[in-house]
Amino acid sequence: MLESLFARSPRTGCAEYALAEGTIVRYQTLMHGTKKKIRARNITLVLCACLIFFSPLNASAQLSQDNKPYDNKLLRLSEILGAIHYLRELCGAKEGQVWRKQMNEIIESEGTTAIRRAKLVKEFNKGYRGYRRTYRTCTEPAKIAIDRFVDEGVIISTALLKENQ
């Protein structure tokens, strides 16, 4: 019975399956032009795989060119500035945007690429948001944190100045 349902189309050379309603679904068999299409598809897949495999290596090479030896200290300083900006405002320092302006100066001088700028901004925001989640009012621990951050910021800034002289 199955043999009677399958037939070859004289026009296309494809196998056809005739359904009861009279519609036809075609199942293509390999023909001479199809081998070229399969080969082209395989080449495309290999090229895509190469791009996927080698693009992280290229991206990491670009990132390593963007890194400076003092980046860890600079990123920590950015985080400290974000925390100080939030905590000083919380405790009523009325300094306005002093700490944010300091951060903008760092970004202007050290943010040589978009990736570097994004890293610096990310760390500033991390410090700001981290302490915004922790402290809702000015408490004694918040004041102690401010003092510690200022001390650590001075140490890092001094070390950065010494490294760049």
Mean pLDDT of the chain: 74
Provide the H-helix boundaries in 91-139: 98-110, 114-134
Helices 71-90 & 114-134, crossing angle to 10 degrees?
40
Q: Which of 45-54, 80-89, 99-108, 144-153 has the lowest mean pLDDT?
A: 45-54
Shared domain check, 55 and 13:
yes
Shared domain check, 60 and 21:
yes
Shared domain check, 136 and 95:
yes
Single residue among 33, 48, 66 that ends a domain in this structure: 66
Work out how many domains the chain is built from and give that number. Answer: 2
Q: Rounded distance, CA 16 to CA 123, Å?
A: 64
Shared domain check, 58 and 83:
no
Shared domain check, 86 and 50:
no
Nearest residue to 130 via CA among 95, 93, 80 = 80
Shared domain check, 83 and 137:
yes
Shared domain check, 81 and 20:
no
Shared domain check, 62 and 79:
no
Structure confidence by residue, pLDDT tens digits, 101-151: 999 999 998 888 899 999 999 999 999 999 999 999 999 999 999 999 999
Q: Which of 21-25, 67-71, 112-116, 121-125 has the lowest mean pLDDT?
A: 21-25
119 within 8 A of 75, measured Cβ to Cβ: yes
> If pLDDT is split at 50, 70 and 90, which confidence band does 81 have?
very high
Single residue among 28, 43, 66 that ends a domain in this structure: 66
Residue 106 is part of which domain span? Answer: 71-163
Cα dihedral 130, 132, 138, 142 in deg (nearest 10): 10
Shared domain check, 34 and 8:
yes
Structure confidence by residue, pLDDT tens digits, 34-44: 555 555 555 55
